[in-house]
Each structure stands twice: as C-alpha cells, then as structure tokens.
A and B are shown apart, each in its own frame.
Chain A
Amino acid sequence: MKKVYFKGIALPYFLLLPQIIITGLFFFWPAAQAVRQSFLREDAFGLSSQFVGFENFTDVLSDPTWLDAAFRTLLFSSSVAILALGAALFLAVQADKHIRGADTYKTLLIWPYAVAPAIAAVLWLFMFHPNIGIFGRMLNALGVPWDYKLNGDQAMLLIIFAAAWKQVSYNFIFFLAGLQSIPKAVLEAAAIDGAGPMRRFWTVVFPLLSPTAFFLMVVNLVYAFFDTFGIIHSLTQGGPGKATETLIYRVYTDGVMNLNFGSSAAQSVILMILVIVLTMVQFRYVERKVHY
C-alpha cells in the first residue's frame, strides 16, 4: 500500500466523474429498475402497473418452459465448456513441446479469438447449411437427414460446436501460459523417477494446471451463458420451436419481442444473481491462488 499521496479532494472526484456517471446511468439505475419491475405487473394495455410481490418470480420458476430453457442452458453451457477446454488443453500440451515451428502453430491457433461469436456462427452456417454447406450436403448425401432448421437436436449440436470452436483459442492461450510456468525441473525429476509421458501429465502437469483449468471453467460458463447470444440469434433464433432457446435468449424474446416486462425483469434478476455468484466464485479463486 502506498504511503505518499497527492493533496486535493476536487481533482480525484473530477477524475472519477466520467466512470461514475456512466456506471450510475447505464448500470446501476437500469439494474435497480429491473429489480423494481420484477415486483410489478402491467395491465394488458401497459397503462398502469401494480405491485405483485414475488408473483413474477414464482410464475417464472414454476413455468415448465422456463425450466426447460434452464435445463437446456445447463446442457449447452457445460457441453461448450467441456469441448472448448478439452480441445484447448490437448492443443496446448502439443504446442508446449519442443518442436520446429511451434511459434507458427501458436499464431495459427490464437487468431480465432478475434472472431465475433455471431461471425463464428455464420462460418458454421456456411459449412452446415443443408443446401449450400459442404458438410450439410455431405450428410444428406450419406443418408443422414440433416437440416438444423427443422431438427432441434441438430440445431443444438450446431450452436454447441460453433460456440466451442470460437472459445478454444482463448483457453489455449491460458493453458499454454500455465504450462510454460511449470518448472522443467519438476518434470525432469519425474522422468528420472521413471514416470512415462502419460503419468507425468496426470500426476504432475494436470494438478499444477488445475487452478488455470478452474478459472477457465468459470470464464467458459459465463461465456456460454451470455456471450453466445449472437450465435443463437444469428443461427437458429432459438428454434426450431424452442430447441435452442437459452435463458438469455428467453429474456430477450420475452422482453424485447413480447414486451412482457414483469416476467422479463424477474428473469433478469434471477440471471443477475447467477452472475454475482459466478463472479464471486471466480474472485475467491484469485484470492486463493495468491496463497497457492
């Protein structure tokens, strides 16, 4: 901690002012409104609203279609996280070896970070469109009736792959940094003790990498919950039916499309609680890692 400061009261407030105004106007005020609206219900004409207590929440939580969406979100997010983490760890372990061209491989694996989730979805659409996509046509030619616009499971599969594809490079960067920070002496000691490559990986590398993996797990779940809105919106619009409607997508359709403010606000508040929990878990981990 610092012991020497500049004098002055007005200047620091002035320096903080822009950030405080923006967070107040566009973050805290709307968040407070969301909480307020979640306890209100508007009449059919939107003319008046009345306090309904927790009714919006109980309605949401007992709505089977919302529970379906929650389950779907869980399935989607965990699939994305596992796929993206697994692929990234595998590639990072390979790229960490002493081979020629390692830097070129790294560059070629890092760039997808720059691709927007919605653009990733579009690229996957180009491949898996049933009529114009190379793999979509191939599947149909092989006798697999492939059309993600009609088949819900196929739609879900497609958004999972598009979402995971985009996230691998991010995880790869962190796993590689984690691998490079493992002291080589530890690995050499294990090798001298007769541990083979697989054994070295599972008993030395993996435990030392687990804090990184845990951190990435949380980041990937947050990504799959929130940042994949663009993927779903551009690829399936939540359909066919509701087959790819995640919780975030539902907040959007209920609020923006169906103008059901009370329910949308209640759903928002539930998600807000979820983000707060995830963020706290993430920062607890950072604190613990300092002592690690």
Chain B
Amino acid sequence: MGTSLDVNALADRTRRRQRREAFVTHACLALGVLIFAFPIYLTIIGSTHDVNTIGRGDVPLLPGGEAAANYAQAWGVGGGRFMGVPAGVMLFNSVIMAMCVAVGKIAISLTSAYAVVFFRFPFRMMFFWLIFITLMLPVEVRIIPTIQVMVDLNMTNSYQGLIIPLIASATATLLFRQFFLTIPDEYVEAAKIDGAGPIRFFIDVILPLSRTNVAALFVILFIYGWNQYLWPLLIVNDRSMETVVVGLTKMIGSGDSQNEWNVIMATAVLALLPPVAVVVLMQRWFVKGLTETEK
C-alpha cells in the first residue's frame, strides 16, 4: 500500500510540475505574440480616430468612430500637408510591382535553370556563375551607376523601370537548378523515346513537377517585391507612380506632430494588409519556400 501511495503522490507532483511548466511556456509565447501584435493594434486603433485626438497626444487604446472617414480619405485622397497621393493609386502600383517582380523572377529563373541543367553548350557554367554572382551585387553597392543606366535607357518613372531590373534572380535560379537535378534521367529518356522535344518536355513534365516550388517562391518573391524601398525611391519621382511603402514614409516626412496621423495610420494598415494576408493564407508554402531557398 505504501509504495502505491508514493507513486500516486509522485504522479501528482509530476502533473503539477508539468502544468506549471506549460503555464510558463504559454506566458512566454503570449508575451512574444503581444510584442509583435501591439504595434499593429495601436496603428489600427489610431486609424479609427480623428486627427485632433492623435495630434494632441491622447493615444487611445479603444477604437473610435472615424474609421470610415479616415479610410475613405486615405484610399481616395491621401494625406500629408503637401500634395497627397491616394492610397488606392499607391496600392495599385505596389500590386503591379510585386506581382510582376514575382512572376518575372520565377519565369526567367525557370528557363535559365532548365537551360543549364538539361542542355550541354559552350560556357554553360560561366553563365550559371554570372547569375550566381549577382547575389553579391545588391542595389545598395551600385546605386549611382545603376541610376545612370536607367536614365540612359529612359526607364525612370515607369513600371518597366521599377520591375525589369529586379527580376534577375540568383536564389530562384539556384533553387530550380537543385530541384531539376533531382529529376531522374529516365524522364528525359522516356520523353525522347516518345518523340517529345525540349519545349514539350518543359511544358508537360517540368512545369507540373515544379508546382510546389513555384508556389513557395511566389510567396517569398511577392513580399520581396512589395517591400522594396531603395529602388522605387531612386527610380520614381513622379508621385503617381509611387509604391505604398515609399509613399507612406513620404507622408510622414520628418514626423511633425501636425501630420494627419489618422490618415497616415489608415494608409499604414492598408500597406501592411496584402503581404501579411499572403503570408498567413499561404503559410505552409511560405515556410517551405523560405527554409529551402535560403539553404
């Protein structure tokens, strides 16, 4: 009897300890979640109040009644004490840029990786290394001469200028190359026996096999395109071409208290929403894409 009591007491103690540990874990994670969610919460709340409430520094923690008016102004008119650009226009520009950058990068990386893996031709590896080396040449280290090229080609203030120089992609090419190398030789042999040429093989075999990789990369590259900052800042000064990330910080300027903060906060929420939605809705692809492209 004595031993069974001891066992019960031990089991009880273990259970209590496990409960305590689980509580600590939950508390830590909840604190982490709070640290990440609070700034967004504050911004959403701010976007539902009028300009004076925020301007005089009464930072509210509960929603106000001005949401409709603020978002309508942000979407259709814009804010800022100088000329504003409507968020609708900026969001449109960002969507175009992010979509075209993502699709463009995937398209040209697919074809380049296909050429490098499934063909043999002179200077094959040299071309591959050329693409690879672009990893080491971010915009930040070649600002002035790149602007010069853009001016010479008359590509400033245009969608082409925003998009085309960004669609070269070493990481996407590397990822597709790695993946193509795992495709068994038998597939190619079978295609040849069936009389399928390289273009047929690409469309009927390679593209369907690459579906998951393409989806994963799309999430990463969409966010990459959406979040561009320095490039649009350099290439665009026609404000109707502004993307929302750059446009938002221009609305803030040097951060004067007299800014139309309610409209700025509404614009910030609108600028956040699309990429966050993409990550949350496509979480599975996104995590896969991230951990596989970067390794």
Give the docked Cα–Cα distance between A1 and B124 (Å): 14
Point out the residues of chain B lying under 8 angstroms from A126, CB to CB. 39, 42-43, 46, 261, 265, 268
Which of B76-84, B85-93, B137-145, B210-218 faces chain A?
Answer: B137-145
Q: Does B164 contact A (CB under 8 A)?
A: yes
Point out the residues of chain B lying under 8 angstroms from A2, CB to CB. 117-118, 181, 185, 188
B136 touching A118, Cβ below 8 Å: no
A256 touching B234, Cβ below 8 Å: yes
Which of A52-60, A183-191, A201-209, A261-269 faces chain B?
Answer: A261-269
Point out the residues of chain A lying under 8 angstroms from B112, CB to CB. 15-16, 18-19
Interface size class of B (residues with CB under 8 A): 35 or more
Give the docked Cα–Cα distance between A111 and B144 (Å): 34
Which residues of B, 152-210, contact A by the 8 Å Cβ criterion?
Answer: 153, 164-165, 167-169, 173, 181, 185, 188-189, 192, 197-199, 201
Point out the residues of chain B lying under 8 angstroms from A248, CB to CB. 140
Q: Take A8-B198, A16-B127, A272-B141 as given contacts and tell me if A132 and B290 are in contact as well, using a CB distance cutoff of 8 Å.
A: no
Q: Does A72 contact B (CB under 8 A)?
A: no
Q: Does A124 contact B (CB under 8 A)?
A: yes
Task: Specify which of B39, B135, B165, B279 is in contact with A111 (CB 8 Å cutoff).
Answer: B279
Q: Does B2 contact A (CB under 8 A)?
A: no
CB distance from B60 to the nearest CB of A (A): 9
Give the docked Cα–Cα distance between A170 and B29 (Å): 16
Give the docked Cα–Cα distance between A113 and B112 (Å): 28
Point out the residues of chain A lying under 8 angstroms from B38, CB to CB. 127
A114 touching B278, Cβ below 8 Å: yes
B283 touching A99, Cβ below 8 Å: no
Name the residue on B nearest A123 (C-beta): B39
Q: Does A152 contact B (CB under 8 A)?
A: no
Point out the residues of chain A lying under 8 angstroms from B117, CB to CB. 2
A110 touching B145, Cβ below 8 Å: no
Q: Does B103 contact A (CB under 8 A)?
A: no
B144 touching A255, Cβ below 8 Å: yes
Task: Specify which of B59, B120, B223 is in contact with A133 (CB 8 Å cutoff).
Answer: B59
Task: Specify which of B109, B119, B127, B275 is in contact with A11 (CB 8 Å cutoff).
Answer: B119
Q: Does A34 contact B (CB under 8 A)?
A: yes
Q: Does B69 contact A (CB under 8 A)?
A: no
CB distance from B55 to the nearest CB of A (A): 7
Q: Does A233 contact B (CB under 8 A)?
A: yes
A19 touching B272, Cβ below 8 Å: no
Point out the residues of chain A lying under 8 angstroms from B124, CB to CB. 12
Point out the residues of chain A lying under 8 angstroms from B295, CB to CB. 215, 286
Point out the residues of chain A lying under 8 angstroms from B287, CB to CB. 110, 173, 177
Q: Does A27 contact B (CB under 8 A)?
A: yes
A173 touching B145, Cβ below 8 Å: no
Point out the residues of chain B lying under 8 angstroms from A13, CB to CB. 115, 121
A233 touching B29, Cβ below 8 Å: no
Binary flags per residue of A145-179, CB closer than 8 Å to B gives 1, else 0: 00001000000000000000100111001100100
Name the residue on B nearest A279 (C-beta): B136
Which of A43-51, A61-69, A73-81, A101-109 faces chain B?
Answer: A101-109
Which residues of B, 105-155, contact A by the 8 Å Cβ criterion?
Answer: 108-109, 111-112, 114-122, 124, 127, 130-131, 134-138, 140-149, 153
Name the residue on B nearest A124 (C-beta): B39
B42 touching A30, Cβ below 8 Å: no
Interface size class of A (residues with CB under 8 A): 35 or more
Q: Does B255 contact A (CB under 8 A)?
A: yes
CB distance from A189 to the nearest CB of B (A): 20
Give the docked Cα–Cα distance between A18 and B229 (Å): 24
Which residues of A, 118-154, contact B by the 8 Å Cβ criterion?
Answer: 118-119, 121-127, 129, 131-134, 137, 149
CB distance from A75 to the nearest CB of B (A): 19
Q: Does B68 contact A (CB under 8 A)?
A: no
Task: Specify which of A19, A90, A112, A134 is in contact with B109 (CB 8 Å cutoff).
Answer: A19
B252 touching A132, Cβ below 8 Å: no
Give the docked Cα–Cα distance between A110 and B149 (Å): 38
CB distance from B204 to the nearest CB of A (A): 14
Q: Does A182 contact B (CB under 8 A)?
A: no
B148 touching A30, Cβ below 8 Å: yes
Q: Does B62 contact A (CB under 8 A)?
A: no
A117 touching B227, Cβ below 8 Å: yes
Task: Specify which of B109, B264, B294 is in contact with A219 (CB 8 Å cutoff).
Answer: B294
Could you list 23 A-B pairs, sorted by A, with CB under 8 Å? A4-B189, A23-B168, A31-B137, A111-B36, A114-B279, A116-B227, A118-B227, A119-B268, A123-B39, A123-B40, A123-B268, A126-B43, A127-B42, A132-B55, A132-B257, A133-B59, A134-B61, A149-B255, A165-B36, A168-B36, A229-B230, A256-B144, A269-B141
